Structure 1
């Protein structure tokens, strides 16, 4: 009887799927050569998925040297990037094709 309980306990322990935390998803929109929101707060020390939706007719490049990310998003389309995990802090980004207007910052808290 003791052996059956032990085996049953091992079986149940091994067969339970561990709960995996899902990657948080955030969205940035490019419209009129501006990023919305211009400040994006994300969790620190955690990888995130960032969807960048370009509602302009022209392409824009999401660029951040501090986050080591660069991605061209064609006009009227969207792209997905993984960012992080980032230490707590502020990480600027810009649109390389319109650097005067397309600016923003990721705040990792």
Structure 2
């Protein structure tokens, strides 16, 4: 009986510790207005997950896309989209609006 109780307590302790051990994502906030990202140049720490929060202030949809980040998401006009990105190695990662060739930006990971 003692073994069962000890095993149950260990299992509960593990479940309670798991959320605190998960890495907190670095949030990057962007706005999209007049066909441009603001800011267009952003940075983040290496080896940590990221979350882009893109607020589309334009009157038409835009598509946040990046081949190097392996993400794409349509963000409707007047709404906000969240794009989760895995932990990245140091480098430069470009992103753009797939509906507008002139809207470009870059993420520098250090």
TM-score bracket relative to the smaller structure: 0.7 to 0.9
TM-score, length-normalised on structure 2?
0.79
CA RMSD of aligned residues (A): 2.3
Alpha carbons 2:24, 2:49 under 8 Å: kept: no
Identify the residue that residue 105 of structure 1 maps to in structure 2.
106
- Per-residue deviation, 1:38: 0.4
Structure with the higher fraction of residues in helix conformation = 2
Structure 1 gaps of 5+ residues are 1-10
Q: 1:27 aligns with which of 17, 26, 29?
A: 29
Structure number with bigger Rg = 1
Tell me the alpha carbon deviations over residues 11-66 of structure 1, each in whole angstroms, 9 at most, x when there is no partner.
7xx75954334222221110101001101101111111111110001111111001
TM-score, length-normalised on structure 1?
0.80
